[in-house]
Chains A and B, each alone.
Chain A
Amino acid sequence: MTAFLTLSAAIAEYVHDGDSVALEGFTHLIPFAAGHEVIRQGYRDLELIRMTPDLLYDQMIGMGCVRRLVFSYAGNPGVGSLHRFRDAVEHDWPNRIELEEHSHAGMVNRYVAGASNLPFAVMRGYTGTDLPKHTSTIASITCPFTGEVLTAVPALRPQVGIIHAQRADQAGNIQLWGITGVQKEVALAAHHTIVTVEEIVPRLEPLPGAVVIPGWVIAAVAEAPGGARPSYAHGYYDRDNGFYREWDLISRERARFATWMEENVLHASTAG
């Protein structure tokens, strides 16, 4: 049964130091407001999981929330490097982070296995690459029917999954549309799922291509209008492309990054 909570109450209820947390949204509906609340509440030693750690994880890494990162592509989309991520990997600043690195195909199959409550997923992938030399969660498995050697990757079951959606209804059913990414898989793979939404409406109007996730698998819904900014929410607002470029400058130097976070995240009020 879904609880309707404020964003700060939802994060305080389900996130703990040391937890594995997946904030997902593949290039769209990135749960920035929720991630900022995690930063404000000061959690440490998190294992953060995300296919495309972008600005949000750059911020969380730079603020020292992260012990371990499970990912497949860490870049600023359309712009270039993530400087806080690079500083952590290259110079251990603000702390060393451990990497568990996969490909997109591997990560998404790990979520599928998690959502299916299977121990692992089977795929064709990673063959001939150096990834298996550095990532212990890539193995081979022989098909019992054909003898073909395939790749196995273990299920991801984050303690907390956090996604942003356009709408929830009053029973806590979730509706999201546009690029729907991996949100359904994460919501079903995580032990507890928190969903922030643009708005809570009396009734979800059916929409072509929309994904609906029944409320009874969601732990908490928090209203957070604008909660995906500076990414976008299809039908609500566009991506702030200028900010993605600006971030390249803000994040280059530790001091400027710290000042920006202080002014724009730590001292900002919560969205919910």
Chain B
Amino acid sequence: MATDKIGEKNYTAGEMMTVAAARELRSGMACFVGVGPPSLAANLARATHAPDIILIYESGTIGAKPSRLPLSIGDGELAETADAVVTVAEMFNYWLQPGRIDVGFLGAAQIDRFGNINTTVIGSYDHPKVRLPGAGGAPEIAASTKEVIVIVTQSPRTFVPQLDFVTSVGHGSGDLSRRQLGFTGAGPTIVITDLGILRPDPASAELALTQLHPDVSVEQARAATGWALVVDHNLTTTEPPTERELAVLRRLKASTEASYDG
């Protein structure tokens, strides 16, 4: 609704990214959430259009309903508000591995044109330029959830032609890779950035730009991509964040800041 929007430049590119990601989530979806941007987007969805989304954190909380944004996947409030708290072994073996979870929500330090993700090292493994945290739950989340949503800032540093390390498999080397690897889930169906949205081409599985956020040009998106970016011929424009989306998002962020002082 036009009346629901706020004026130009009243939100940041990062806020647009989070809002766009939140809009992909629906009530009733079981969503495996990583900490950071995925958690912010998932909690925004729960506080706005998807109140009955099932938030699952790898610490073992299923159906967590936090009142503020958790700082860690192990926050006590996640356990207190969850439908069930299970052990980490149960989480990975009984819940994730069998493909029970609808959506895996992942971030990335590097992503390639087939949606494969690196969160391990920049540079060589034995002598890394930057040592990143590593895999965590991501490889099996990427393999076993029904679909994967990736949220990542778009720049030549993150959108690279060749990953320094494959931590989590997206569409492998393209088209039939996932089936050949024996994965049951669809893999990354959408990649949401601060510039727009990419989706895998149904035939080649290569990510194509299908949507731009307001006031972003195709040239900007191309310049922020380390490979020759395919642009969908039906390119659309993202609806800007509504006042409500922004208000809730900012309240969630403020609650995080407050908990650092408390």
Q: Write the residues of chain A forming the contact surface with B, with a CB cutoff of 8 angstroms.
A: 26-28, 51-52, 71-75, 77-78, 81-82, 85-86, 89-90, 101-105, 108-109, 111-112, 123-131, 134, 148-149, 178-182, 184-185, 209, 211, 232, 234, 238-239, 241-242, 244-245
Q: Which residue of A52, A149, A180, A245 contacts B87 across the interface (Cβ within 8 Å)?
A: A180
A72 and B134 within 8 A (CB): yes
A73 and B133 within 8 A (CB): yes
Q: Nearest Cβ distance between residue A71 and chain B, in whole angstroms?
A: 7
A125 and B139 within 8 A (CB): yes
B residues in contact with A71, CB < 8 Å? 134
Within 8 A of A (CB), among B109-158: 120, 125, 128-131, 133-140, 143-144
B residues in contact with A86, CB < 8 Å? 130-131
Q: Which residue of A75, A127, A178 contacts B143 across the interface (Cβ within 8 Å)?
A: A127
B71 and A78 within 8 A (CB): yes
B contact residues, total (Cβ < 8 Å)? 53
Given A90-B130, A179-B60, A181-B59; A128-B169 close (CB under 8 Å): yes
B residues in contact with A234, CB < 8 Å? 76, 79
- Count of A-B residue pairs with CB < 8 Å: 170
Q: Does B192 contact A (CB under 8 A)?
A: no
Q: For the complex, give the distance between the alpha carbons of A71 and B262 in Å.
A: 31
A134 and B135 within 8 A (CB): no
A124 and B74 within 8 A (CB): no
B residues in contact with A239, CB < 8 Å? 71-72, 75-76
Q: Does B4 contact A (CB under 8 A)?
A: no
Q: Does B181 contact A (CB under 8 A)?
A: yes
Chain B 2-39: CB-based contact to A (< 8 A → 1; otherwise 0): 00000000000000000000000000000000011000
Q: For the complex, give the distance between the alpha carbons of A184 and B59 in Å.
A: 14
Q: Nearest Cβ distance between residue B66 and chain A, in whole angstroms?
A: 13
Given A125-B143, A127-B169, A129-B166; A180-B135 close (CB under 8 Å): no
B residues in contact with A149, CB < 8 Å? 182
Q: Which residue of B35, B61, B96 contacts A105 across the interface (Cβ within 8 Å)?
A: B96
Q: Nearest Cβ distance between residue A228 and chain B, in whole angstroms?
A: 11
B residues in contact with A81, CB < 8 Å? 133
B260 and A103 within 8 A (CB): no
For the A-B complex with A77-B35, A82-B133 known, give 6 more contacts whose Cβ atoms are closer than 8 Å.
A27-B75, A73-B137, A74-B134, A108-B88, A123-B97, A181-B59
B residues in contact with A51, CB < 8 Å? 88
Closest to B60 in A: A179
Instruction: Pick 23 A–B contacts, CB within 8 A, sort by A.
Output: A26-B88, A28-B79, A73-B134, A77-B73, A82-B133, A103-B136, A104-B58, A104-B92, A104-B136, A105-B139, A105-B140, A123-B97, A125-B97, A125-B140, A130-B120, A131-B135, A179-B79, A184-B87, A185-B89, A234-B79, A242-B261, A244-B72, A245-B260
A72 and B259 within 8 A (CB): no
A residues in contact with B137, CB < 8 Å? 73, 103-105
B residues in contact with A185, CB < 8 Å? 87, 89
Closest to B87 in A: A180
Q: Which residue of B61, B79, B92, B262 contacts A108 across the interface (Cβ within 8 Å)?
A: B92
A residues in contact with B177, CB < 8 Å? 128
Q: Does B41 contact A (CB under 8 A)?
A: no
Closest to B96 in A: A105
Q: Does B85 contact A (CB under 8 A)?
A: yes
Q: Does B168 contact A (CB under 8 A)?
A: yes
Q: For the complex, give the distance between the alpha carbons of A129 and B181 in Å.
A: 11
B74 and A104 within 8 A (CB): no
Closest to B99 in A: A124
A105 and B97 within 8 A (CB): yes
Given A103-B139, A125-B140, A245-B260; A90-B89 close (CB under 8 Å): no
B74 and A28 within 8 A (CB): yes
Q: Does B241 contact A (CB under 8 A)?
A: no
B76 and A178 within 8 A (CB): yes
Chain B 218-262: CB-based contact to A (< 8 A → 1; otherwise 0): 000000000000000000000000000000000000000001111
B140 and A103 within 8 A (CB): yes
Chain B 61-91: CB-based contact to A (< 8 A → 1; otherwise 0): 1000000001111111011000001011100
Q: For the complex, give the distance between the alpha carbons of A117 and B136 in Å.
A: 25
Q: Which residue of A72, A124, A232 contacts B97 across the interface (Cβ within 8 Å)?
A: A124
Given A74-B133, A238-B76; A129-B89 close (CB under 8 Å): no
A130 and B165 within 8 A (CB): yes
Q: Nearest Cβ distance between residue A59 and chain B, in whole angstroms?
A: 17
B residues in contact with A209, CB < 8 Å? 85
Q: Nearest Cβ distance between residue B31 and chain A, in whole angstroms?
A: 17
Q: Nearest Cβ distance between residue A125 and chain B, in whole angstroms?
A: 5
Closest to B118 in A: A130
B residues in contact with A74, CB < 8 Å? 131, 133-134
Q: For the complex, give the distance between the alpha carbons of A105 and B143 in Å.
A: 12
